[in-house]
Amino acid sequence: MYQIQNITIIFILISFFSYGQNEIKMINGTEFKLTTIEKNDTEQIEFIEIVRKNKKLLSHTIANFDGDCSSENIELGGYEIKESSIVFYSYWASGDIMGKNIYPYGFRKQIYSVDEKGTLLLEKSEIYIENYLDDWSVHEGIKYLNKELNSKSELKLLNDYISKAESIYSSKFVLGNNKIKLENYVRNKLKKVIEENTKYWKEIYGENCNM
C-alpha cells in the first residue's frame, strides 16, 4: 500500500481556471471536499481535486482534450465512492489522419481506501496502456502486447515496455484476461462519454485511430 502525499502542481504559463461544483462527502467518518476545476488555454482540461481540511490530497482527470487540425488525443475519467473507498477509472484514445499520432490508448482503474484517520491509501492500480514511453519514439516492445512471442529478444522488449509503463503510471500492467476485464469495466463506466467524444472518429480517421 502506498500513502498518498500532498501533490503541488505548478503551472509556469498563466492559465485560466474555472472552479465549478463543490461536493462534500463523508468517507469512513472523514469529511472530504471534491472540487471540479476546468482549465482552458492551449488544452481543455477538467479534473477534480480531493481536499481534506484544506489540504489537497490528489487530483484526477475527468476530461483532457488535445490535438491539432489533423489529430486528437483524449483522456476521459470518472470516479465512484464505495463505503470506505474511492475508485477512479481512466480511458485514453487517439486519432490522426496521417496515422502518426495514434497513442496513447488504454485503460486504468485505481482503488484508494480511507482509513479511520482520513488517510488515503492506494490499495490497487491496474493499467493497460499503449503510449510513447521514450519521448516521441515508439518503443519496440509495444507491438508484442497483443502478439504471441517467438523469441527471448521479443520477451525482453515486451518486459522493458511493461516495466517503463508501470514506473510512469504507478500501476500494475495487465494483459490477457485481466486486460479484457479492465477494458470492459472502464468502457462500461464511461460508455456515454466515450461514445459522445469518439462517435465521429471512424468517419474522419478511418483505421488511423485507437479508441
Summarised one tens digit per residue, pLDDT across range 112-164 is 999 999 999 999 999 999 999 877 788 999 999 999 999 999 999 999 999 99
Q: What is the pLDDT of residue 39?
A: 80
Q: Find cell 475527468 and name the residue.
A: 62
Q: Give dist(CA 137, CA 128) in Å, integer.
A: 19
- Of 35, 65, 66, 67, the residue nearest 52 (C-alpha): 35
Per-residue model confidence (pLDDT) at position 7: 35
Query: In the chain, which residue ranges form alpha helices assigned H by DSSP?
Result: 152-169, 176-189, 191-198, 201-205
pLDDT at residue 13, as a whole number: 37
Question: Which amino acid, one-letter code, is at 125?
Answer: S
- Give the pLDDT score at 58: 94
* pLDDT tens sequence for the chain (211 residues): 444 344 333 333 334 455 567 899 999 999 999 999 988 766 689 999 999 999 999 999 999 998 888 999 999 999 999 999 999 999 999 999 998 888 999 999 999 999 999 999 999 999 999 999 877 788 999 999 999 999 999 999 999 999 999 999 999 999 999 999 999 999 999 999 999 999 999 999 999 999 9
User: Quick one: pLDDT at residue 68?
Assistant: 87
DSSP 3-state assignment of 54?
A: coil
Q: How far is CA 180 from CA 108, 187, 203, in A?
A: 12, 10, 26
Domain extent listing, the chain: 2-136+171-210
